[in-house]
């Protein structure tokens, strides 16, 4: 495989040209000159065909998603995305595929002024690894481990549409034509919450992006911060499409357990609640309070005032009410 | 696959703890605080099973090589390696395999004080992508594109042993037991020329690491710098094992066309020749002058005073006869 030809042909066409890139693609390394007073955030995510996206996903969607999942990690720490490296493993050289894929990669890069600074093209089973980097002012990095009991728990956007689309691909659920477009857009072209992440630098006590599912990712925050949480399930934001397709309980179940949302889950102290809500509202970013952190060692889920447990087949209701 | 368990169990055991890593593995991103007055070099390389290493390669060797090929790219630009991100795709969770692999990764990292700052573990056909970063004083980056006609051409070490080992794996050539250890060491545990690269910052006009083969990589320098080259083939350093196994002409052919050497090919001006030779000798780094750059548009190869054309893979772009 003529990796040099491939790279030069499709991946040199980007229009993003950052001033902090001293040398881009084409040498053994790229050379970056980050501004002083900034820290660098770095993250890596791999997408494997058949594991992270259905085999028949369009190449443009694959390119978009490979960038989006990495920018979402940068958003979760409050970083401004700046550079990516792309490792692309392809079973064969399909020029149309590569062209479409590169369009998907560059759409998001150009929107956020992120420059592709290097990569490697190899032959093998289809997979994409992107390492994304961003900059964040010193001491403004949002961690998972700094949430406090008493902080309020929020999510951006609506949860579950991507998981619903995946269930449709897997033949587990039918979808009305009227909702297909919306839920597949969420699965194939997730929008990383880049601006929300940067806005939250001044307010959030912790943040994580929801890639594994709301409750799984909340567990990461709780473990890292040594706190518990109570989640009010009826407050979890779900789309009208979800509600219509699955009914209320099943929709909530998928919204809290499905992955691939790439919304942000974050905590904010009582004192910063109003400031945060104003900041996100000014940016037009939907956000919903879904619960509160506490001093317990568990995550409690409450539906209509009753404690419930998600057991794999659905919600198990407990008669005990919660305070 | 419980990627979090995997990562925390094996990849948190590293001993390298750099002061410029504000936050390491465990959050959505790592956070780096590079020193001022430094630029950052970044490179990405993927190894795919069956393509970049034989399927039966030991996991320790795979881990070593995945790091080595990336540190070699950093060496080629004169950078000091600092941080790596690891994307590991595995067909299944084989704890012994992962344990051995992580030993291979960390051996080199610890030697060079390189910290693993993040990664992703996914399920799929075996492949490893590492993004490595390093630091280099501003304006001290060695490029491919800055060689000049008249500069002398050098390589570090000896070439071809790794290619010889690969030919043995492929059943193309038999190996005496007395040389097997040495040549397989070169294939499985290549030593990136990290110190040589940093020493060359003050002397080299261009550099590249020899991963595709001497003549192919020389062609990259010539193309980027718009120069030609004359290579004196009998000066190309080859091991006694190569000479003994293949005979002189076949040994030279493999040494200039085989890949996977991870030695450095570099150019130096007449004025800096003595300084460079002294610097590398003081570090105990073997280096050999193999030719000179010129104003022509081709690479000429000379053996015993006669121009010759080799039909190896490294020569595909230069099949035309030269004057």
Q: Which residue of B has its CA nearest to A208?
A: B28
Q: Is residue B289 scored above 70 in pLDDT? A: yes
* CA dist., res. A155 & res. A148, Å (int): 17
Give residue B318's pLDDT. 39
**Chain A residues in contact with B83 (beta carbon < 8 A):** 42
Give residue B319's pLDDT. 40
Give residue B75's pLDDT. 98
Shared domain for A54 and A131, answered yes or no, is yes
Minimal CA separation from A312 to chain B, in Å: 17
Tokens representing residue A40 in the block:
């660098």
Contact yes or no for A85 and B143 at CB 8 A: no
Q: Which of A137, A164, A199 is the last residue of a domain?
A: A137
- Band (pLDDT 50/70/90 cuts) for residue B320 is very low
- Band (pLDDT 50/70/90 cuts) for residue A55 is confident
- Band (pLDDT 50/70/90 cuts) for residue B15 is confident
Give residue B316's pLDDT. 36
Angle between helices A161-169 and A248-257 (to 10 degrees): 100
Give residue A51's pLDDT. 87
Give residue A63's pLDDT. 97
If you ran DSSP here, which 8-state letter would residue A240 be given?
H
CATH of the domain at B160: 3.90.650.10
Contact yes or no for B131 and A131 at CB 8 A: yes
Mean pLDDT of B245-271: 94
Contact yes or no for A43 and B34 at CB 8 A: no
Please write the tens of the pLDDT for every residue from A242-280.
999 999 999 999 999 998 999 999 999 999 999 999 999
Please report, rounded to a whole number, the percentage of residues in chain B having pLDDT higher than 90. Answer: 76
Q: Is residue A319 scored above 70 in pLDDT? A: no
Shared domain for B102 and B179, answered yes or no, is no
Give residue A8's pLDDT. 61
**Chain A residues in contact with B46 (beta carbon < 8 A):** 87, 89, 120, 122, 129
Q: How far apart are the first and last CA of chain B?
A: 61
**Chain B residues in contact with A79 (beta carbon < 8 A):** 29
Shared domain for B209 and B280, answered yes or no, is yes
Residue B146 lies in a domain: no
Residue B145 lies in a domain: no
Minimal CA separation from B145 to chain A, in Å: 8
* Residue that wins the pLDDT comparison between B21 and B3: B21
Tokens representing residue B232 in the block:
């004196």
* CA dist., res. B157 & res. B135, Å (int): 24
Among the partner-chain residues B26, B28, B30, the one whose CB lies closest to the CB of A209 is B28
ipTM of the complex: 0.89
The mean pLDDT of chain A is 92
Residue A240 lies in a domain: yes
Tokens representing residue A89 in the block:
């493993």
Mean pLDDT of A172-194: 95
Among the partner-chain residues B36, B120, B133, the one whose CB lies closest to the CB of A45 is B120
Shared domain for B292 and B172, answered yes or no, is yes
**Contacts by A176-180 with C-beta closer than 8 Å and gap 24+?**
A176/A244, A176/A245, A179/A241, A179/A244, A179/A245
Please report, rounded to a whole number, the percentage of residues in chain B having pLDDT higher than 70. Answer: 93
Q: Is residue A286 scored above 80 in pLDDT? A: yes
Among the partner-chain residues B31, B42, B86, the one whose CB lies closest to the CB of A85 is B42
* CA dist., res. A42 & res. A25, Å (int): 19
Tokens representing residue B125 in the block:
């056909």
Contact yes or no for B43 and A118 at CB 8 A: yes
**Chain A residues in contact with B33 (beta carbon < 8 A):** 39-40, 138
Shared domain for B192 and B220, answered yes or no, is yes
Shared domain for B216 and B129, answered yes or no, is no
Residue B316 lies in a domain: no
CATH of the domain at B117: 3.30.1330.10
Contact yes or no for B129 and A129 at CB 8 A: yes
If you ran DSSP here, which 8-state letter would residue A25 be given?
B
**Chain A residues in contact with B316 (beta carbon < 8 A):** none
Shared domain for A302 and A158, answered yes or no, is yes
Residues 6 or more apart whose CB falls under 8 angstroms from that of B36 comprise A36
Contact yes or no for B86 and A144 at CB 8 A: no
Minimal CA separation from B107 to chain A, in Å: 22
Element at A82 (helix H, strand E): strand A80-90
Shared domain for A253 and A294, answered yes or no, is yes
The residue segments making up the domain with residue B52 are 3-137
Q: Which of B83, B106, B137 is the last residue of a domain?
A: B137
Mean pLDDT of A193-207: 98
Q: Which residue of A has its CA nearest to B143?
A: A27
Residue B253 lies in a domain: yes
Q: Reduced to 3 states, what is the DSSP secondary structure of residue A120?
A: strand
Give residue B51's pLDDT. 87
Q: Is residue B19 scored above 60 in pLDDT? A: yes
Give residue A1's pLDDT. 43
Q: Is residue A100 scored above 90 in pLDDT? A: yes
Minimal CA separation from B79 to chain A, in Å: 9
Among residues B114, B23, B15, B118, the alpha carbon closest in space to that of B64 is found at: B114
β-strands B264-268, B204-209 pairing: antiparallel
Among the partner-chain residues A120, A123, A220, the one whose CB lies closest to the CB of B44 is A120
Minimal CA separation from B36 to chain A, in Å: 7
Give residue A15's pLDDT. 74
**Chain A residues in contact with B145 (beta carbon < 8 A):** 27
Q: Reduced to 3 states, what is the DSSP secondary structure of residue A227?
A: coil
Which of B21, B29, B77, B226 to mutate to probe the A interface, most A CBs <10 Å?
Answer: B29
Give residue B283's pLDDT. 97
Residue A142 lies in a domain: no
The HSE-up count of residue B44 (CA atoms within 13 Å, CB side) is 28
Residue B321 lies in a domain: no
Among residues B127, B8, B18, B23, the alpha carbon closest in space to that of A73 is found at: B23
Contact yes or no for B32 and A39 at CB 8 A: yes
Shared domain for A242 and A108, answered yes or no, is no
Minimal CA separation from B187 to chain A, in Å: 19
Among the partner-chain residues A44, A49, A122, the one whose CB lies closest to the CB of B131 is A44
Please write the tens of the pLDDT for every residue from B91-140.
988 889 999 999 999 999 999 999 999 888 888 999 999 999 999 999 89
The HSE-up count of residue B241 (CA atoms within 13 Å, CB side) is 22
Give residue A252's pLDDT. 96
If you ran DSSP here, which 8-state letter would residue A29 be given?
S
Mean pLDDT of B143-156: 97
Which of B12, B28, B220 to mutate to probe the A interface, most A CBs <10 Å?
Answer: B28
* CA dist., res. B245 & res. B251, Å (int): 8
How many CB pairs lie under 8 A apart between chains A and B?
191
Q: Is residue B314 scored above 60 in pLDDT? A: no
**Chain B residues in contact with A136 (beta carbon < 8 A):** 31
Q: Which of A72, A106, A137 is the last residue of a domain?
A: A137
Shared domain for A58 and A84, answered yes or no, is yes
Q: How many domains does chain A have?
A: 2
Which of B27, B207, B209 to mutate to probe the A interface, most A CBs <10 Å?
Answer: B27
* CA dist., res. A44 & res. B214, Å (int): 32
Please write the tens of the pLDDT for every residue from A66-92.
999 999 999 999 999 999 999 999 998
**Chain B residues in contact with A212 (beta carbon < 8 A):** none
**Chain B residues in contact with A118 (beta carbon < 8 A):** 42-44
Shared domain for B185 and B132, answered yes or no, is no
Among the partner-chain residues B26, B73, B124, the one whose CB lies closest to the CB of A29 is B73
* CA dist., res. A102 & res. A14, Å (int): 9
Residue B85 lies in a domain: yes
Contact yes or no for B31 and A39 at CB 8 A: yes
Mean pLDDT of B180-196: 95
* CA dist., res. A143 & res. A126, Å (int): 33
Give residue B317's pLDDT. 33
Among the partner-chain residues A87, A138, A143, the one whose CB lies closest to the CB of B27 is A143
* CA dist., res. B228 & res. B28, Å (int): 47
Shared domain for B157 and B108, answered yes or no, is no
Distances (CA, A) of B232 to A320, B32, B237, B290, B292: 86, 45, 11, 6, 9
- Band (pLDDT 50/70/90 cuts) for residue B204 is very high
């Amino acid at each position: 495989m003529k990796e040099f030809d491939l790279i030069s042909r499709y991946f040199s066409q980007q229009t993003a040209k950052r001033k902090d890139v001293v040398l881009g693609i084409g040498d053994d390394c790229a050379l970056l000159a980050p501004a002083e007073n900034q820290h660098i955030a770095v993250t890596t995510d791999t997408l494997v065909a058949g594991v992270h996206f259905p085999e028949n996903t369009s190449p443009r969607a694959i390119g978009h998603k490979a960038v989006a999942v990495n920018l979402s990690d940068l958003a979760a720490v409050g970083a401004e995305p700046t550079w990516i490296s792309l490792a692309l493993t392809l079973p064969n050289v399909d020029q149309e595929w590569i062209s479409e894929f590169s369009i998907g990669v560059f759409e998001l890069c150009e929107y956020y002024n992120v420059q592709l600074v290097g990569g490697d093209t190899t032959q093998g089973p289809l997979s994409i690894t992107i390492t994304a980097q961003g900059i964040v002012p010193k001491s403004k990095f949002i961690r998972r481990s700094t949430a406090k009991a008493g902080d309020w728990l929020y999510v951006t956007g609506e949860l579950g549409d991507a998981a619903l689309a995946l269930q449709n691909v897997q033949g587990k659920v039918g979808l009305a034509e009227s909702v297909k477009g919306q839920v597949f857009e969420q699965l194939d072209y997730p929008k990383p919450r880049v601006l929300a992440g940067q806005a939250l630098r001044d307010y959030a006590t912790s943040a994580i992006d929801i890639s594994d599912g709301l409750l799984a990712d909340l567990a990461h925050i709780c473990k890292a911060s040594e706190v518990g949480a109570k989640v009010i399930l009826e407050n979890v934001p779900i789309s009208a499409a979800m509600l219509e397709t699955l009914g209320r309980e099943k929709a909530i179940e998928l919204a809290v357990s499905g992955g691939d949302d790439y919304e942000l889950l974050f905590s904010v102290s009582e004192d910063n609640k109003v400031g945060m809500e104003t900041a996100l509202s000014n940016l037009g970013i939907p956000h919903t309070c879904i619960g509160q952190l506490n001093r317990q060692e568990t995550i409690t889920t409450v539906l209509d005032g009753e404690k419930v447990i998600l057991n794999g087949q659905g919600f198990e209701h407990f008669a005990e009410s919660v305070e």
